[in-house]
Structure 1
Amino acid sequence: MTEPLQLPLQRFNHWLDRQPDAVWLRQPVAGIWHDFTWRQVDEQARRLASALLALGCLPGERVALLAKNCAEWFISDLATQHAGLVSVPLYPLQAPEQIAYVLQHAGCKLILVGKLDEPDKLAAGIGPHITRIAMPYPTMPAEHRWHELLAAHEPLAGSRQQRGDELLSILYTSGTTGQPKGVMLSAHAMAFSAAHATAEMGMTPQDQFFSYLPLSHAAERFLVEFNSLYCGAPVAFVESLETFASDLRRVRPTVFFSVPRLWTRFQQGVLEQLPAHKLERLLRIPLLGRLVARKVRAGLGLDRARILVSGAAAISTGLLDWYRRLGLTICEGYGMTEHFAYGCFNRPGQVRFGTVGRPMPHLQLRIDASGEILLRSETLMQGYYREPEKTAETLEGGWLHTGDRGQLDEAGYLRITGRVKDIFKTSKGKYVAPAPIEGEIAKSHWVEQVCLMGSNLDQPLALIELSPAARQQPQEVVGQALQAHLQALNERLAPHERISHFILVREAWTVDNGCMTPTMKIRRNVLEARYAGALAGLSASDAIVWEP
């Protein structure tokens, strides 16, 4: 990228001048698609900015966003920038108690609410002193409605000059342990990430994005919202979970981001229509195999996809290989909220399975003596909001201390080997890193999620949430398959790493029951506490244990 870095409002004005009547946002409502051009987005954002200022918001104050992905989410984000405010996105799956904590911690006086699955439940976390503006969807009660509010205010005039060092957004982490932390990201950091990513990936206005993962998560906001803003490509939204598959087939994105759990679900959907043994047999037939693979890609809606991304958690190499045989090469990447997800990435055509790729341009990476991954770039956060001690610890020496352990290979590809704090010590005094072993366990298509635990135990054991396909099979079939998988895995592990038991849990791990974060990461401390009782009285002869 050789041109001067444009800050977000500058970049929006660039496309407003160049392609004002091109469609940027596509929103389905009741099966009908509504298109928003750059000019229409600009007018709505400026009207909303006028309304926010008229409601008493002062420059620098924080405005919360609580909604599932939609065109109005983007418009609201732009409006806060026009008004000189700071956006604070909230996860639509967040517990009311965490919503209340974030609103209080960030000092939000106003919240924009939109499409939500359980609006009444989430409303309990929003105090009566906080003004609500409702986007034009069924949602919780609010003092102001979107269309009426915008109609009552003229578009904000002029063009506010953003500064690179101004605070643009506070992104609260999903809180795998303890309360969420507010990551402060500047206009320059967010612009730098998107400008260099779109240049590196060759993204253009001819690309097509599809937005469905929470925009409150740094990865979706970076990969979809900001990358589309910087490359000028349109974004289509999903209407609902029920219409997801048909919406995806209609949009046929060229850039598509998902997380490992959903990549697994997509695979399971294919195998429900075409059993694994039959699909494998067809793919081995040269001409027919290509036709079958093309049909599967079209059925998924990914027949035009040229950049497929997986992130947020580790994905098994077995799953990556399955997609590759269908002509879909998934590029695994690695990033954190603390540097706006601008980290390492497997570029298309340069993919090494089992790694998260090489550092993006202008990103420095090193592994310290303890094996921890340290990062430094212009995308680093300004710090954690109102937490100077945690900020100093995380940004010690000007480097982001990620808390992740990793290894670099001879070509500069990074392999994540686990979290620094996840490593546990068995009763024999031996240390075990769970992530690589969990990755091996997850290669079984009977496994949906896995958590290895073993602190102060003689040998590690694995908690396993079974896949939907496994739950439809007789216990005997699943048990025998997992027994063989465990035996083969233990033969490859060091003696102190060998797994004593697979405990097959009864209840799925979800955000609602506290076992998962809103970004679909497992909460190890919660799982370890929850299943501590299951460890008592385990039989040495039965390695596969079904939770009663």
Structure 2
Amino acid sequence: MTFEHPIAALQYWQQNEPERIYLRQPQGDEFIEYTWQQVAQQARCIASALKAMGFDPGERVAILAKNSAQWFIADLAIMLAGYVSVPIYPSASSETIHYILKHSEVRAIFIGALDNWADQEKGIESDVVRIAMTADTMPAALHWHKLVQNNAPIDYPVELKPDNKMSIVYTSGSTGEPKGVVMSFASYAKAAYHLIDVLQIESPERAVSYLPLAHITERVYVQGSSLFSGLVTVSFVESLARFNDNLRAIKPTLFLSVPRLWLKFQQGIWQNLPAKKLNLLLKLPFINTMVKRKIKQALGLEHARLLGCGSAAVSPELLRWYAKLDINICQAWGMSETLAYGPLNVPFNPDKIDSVGRVGPGAEIKVSEQGELLFKSDALMDKYFLQPELTRQFFTKDGYIHTGDKAEIDAEGYVRITGRIKDIFKTAKGKYVMPVPIEAKFEDSPLIEQVCVAGEGLAQPIALLILSDGAKSLTKTDAEAKLHELLVHINERLESHERLAHLLVLSDAWTPENGLLTPTLKIRRHKLEAKYQALFGDLAGEIIWH
């Protein structure tokens, strides 16, 4: 069974699998479960309420909330009502919220659970209708439960054209203002079906939705695959404090994460089982099997058949470390503009662990003379919203897109991303340096939480560091000694012009809230360099504390 858009899928599952559990929302130690019938019924009632507001077809309705069952339902309701959804990261600043709402000309906004709504509220002007979801959140004129109770379910639309706009997905803005990626129903369906095929979703699966649904990866990998396959039960996470408890209760078969969380998992394992002791136990027959099983159970991943890592560069050494525990993490590559669909290391190939894999059906890749990865598929964005010149520049004459990533493709078609073209800088010696591969070398160290390599115009590059909680507990003398060892170890593996002259240890964390990280936890390199530029010209010694 193949559907042209999510609403056709929703109608089919409501009619043919009404009592099957689709969504699970945690509440304490229990999960509130929603069947396909309940999801469809609520979505149709909310859609009826939206239609009553009298907006013109194709107008925009935003969603600002953490992931939840209501997020999925609100998105479906917007489609049913004939509007275009505009997801916003729940960690977005008031300035970003204001920019997106104005740029996309949003008429109404669903607001759910947020950590910082009092500040975020400043970004929402009074002419935007607020609809409060079920979580406690900022004041709103309309409320979810009342809309469901007071509105009869809308009829399914007779025809919903696949080429119609489904959503405007804003990029995380790592290099400037977020760009509005226009996504059609057809492209969304194709991307989801390609992933269902590549991930081999053929029988019931359990997935966790906790990476922001405003990010295209979660929207396609989790929401898209579950809607179109009808085989994936999606559970949500109550809070960061309850994350591990929820994960152990869910026991997902599919689990997608980002490098930063895999690093935190590793540090948590080391806290309970120091690295030297773990390495010793893994060498012992029979004992090693028990140790691996216990670690998987502690993480809630004992039933996971497919694990993924994406969104940012990850150290191959980290992935090799997990592979020793029989936790095989597949890398993947994608962009908002490709609807997250791109090369994947699926099935997991340990010999290609340092690659993001090969392209699947419907996609083509090549590398330009400048070393840029060019990508083409049948699941690309339509355009950038209200930016025709930027759209024109983004596409090549033969239909590929400029990804902005430097890449290598080996003889077997596996892709290795070596850096971002815009991130490359020139030192005072006239040598070009790619910072991303150097930053990845820090990820193997339990000392480091965050890193940014800079050096435009300097004699040698430097690294800006935020220490991990474990490193912060050390004395300054011990920390300096370990950082010196790390610096020597990293520089030994670099070309002479890449070697780091200084490690600048910073005390203020980089977060989405202070604008130094994107909502997807990528560093905003230009903002970090601007913030600390004044320190670069007067550095003395290998390790500098600020």
TM-score (normalised: structure 1): 0.97
Equivalence map 1:130-529=2 (5 Å): 130-232=128-230, 233-351=232-350, 352-397=352-397, 398-529=399-530
Deviation at 1:504, TM superposition (A): 1.5
Matched residues in 2 for 1:124 and 1:304: separation? Answer: 44
- 8 Å Cα contact 1:5/1:192 also seen in 2: no
Deviations 1:125-158 (A, max 9, x none): 1111111111111011111111111111100023
Deviations 1:394-434 (A, max 9, x none): 12322111111111112111111111111111111111111
Query: Which deviates more from structure 2 when the two are superposed, residues 70-79 or residues 150-159?
Result: 150-159
Aligned residues: 543
Q: What is the aligned-residue RMSD (CA, Å)?
A: 1.3
Deviation at 1:5, TM superposition (A): 5.3
Matched residues in 2 for 1:442 and 1:285: separation? Answer: 27
Deviation at 1:167, TM superposition (A): 0.4
- 8 Å Cα contact 2:462/2:501 also seen in 1: yes
Deviations 1:268-314 (A, max 9, x none): 12222222222222121121111011011001001111111110101
Question: 1:89 corresponds to which residue?
Answer: 87
SS of alignment partner, residue 332 of structure 2: strand
TM-score (normalised: structure 2): 0.97
Read off the aligned partner of 1:366 and give its amino acid letter.
Answer: K
Matched residues in 1 for 2:2 and 2:247: separation? Answer: 35
- 8 Å Cα contact 2:356/2:414 also seen in 1: yes
Matched residues in 2 for 1:264 and 1:157: separation? Answer: 47
Matched residues in 1 for 2:33 and 2:286: separation? Answer: 40
Equivalence map 1:2-13=2 (5 Å): 6-13=4-11
Matched residues in 1 for 2:265 and 2:444: separation? Answer: 15
Equivalence map 1:92-107=2 (5 Å): 92-107=90-105
Matched residues in 1 for 2:461 and 2:476: separation? Answer: 23
- 8 Å Cα contact 1:66/1:114 also seen in 2: yes
Deviation at 1:166, TM superposition (A): 0.5
Structure 2 portions without partners, runs of 5+: none
Question: 2:543 corresponds to which residue?
Answer: 544
Deviation at 1:205, TM superposition (A): 4.6
Deviations 1:348-367 (A, max 9, x none): 33242211111121111111
Deviation at 1:445, TM superposition (A): 2.0
- 8 Å Cα contact 2:4/2:185 also seen in 1: no
Read off the aligned partner of 1:248 and give its amino acid letter.
Answer: L
Deviation at 1:487, TM superposition (A): 1.6
Deviation at 1:171, TM superposition (A): 0.3
Matched residues in 2 for 1:487 and 1:245: separation? Answer: 36
Deviation at 1:18, TM superposition (A): 3.2
Read off the aligned partner of 1:529 and give its amino acid letter.
Answer: A
Matched residues in 1 for 2:115 and 2:459: separation? Answer: 44
- 8 Å Cα contact 2:121/2:138 also seen in 1: yes
Deviations 1:484-537 (A, max 9, x none): 222233233222111111111111111112110111000111111111122232
Matched residues in 1 for 2:306 and 2:371: separation? Answer: 30
SS of alignment partner, residue 95 of structure 2: helix
Deviations 1:243-287 (A, max 9, x none): 111000000000001111111111112222222222222121121
Please point out which of 68, 71, 74 is paired with 1:70. Answer: 68
Matched residues in 2 for 1:369 and 1:5: separation? Answer: 39
Equivalence map 1:527-538=2 (5 Å): 527-538=528-539
- 8 Å Cα contact 1:336/1:342 also seen in 2: yes
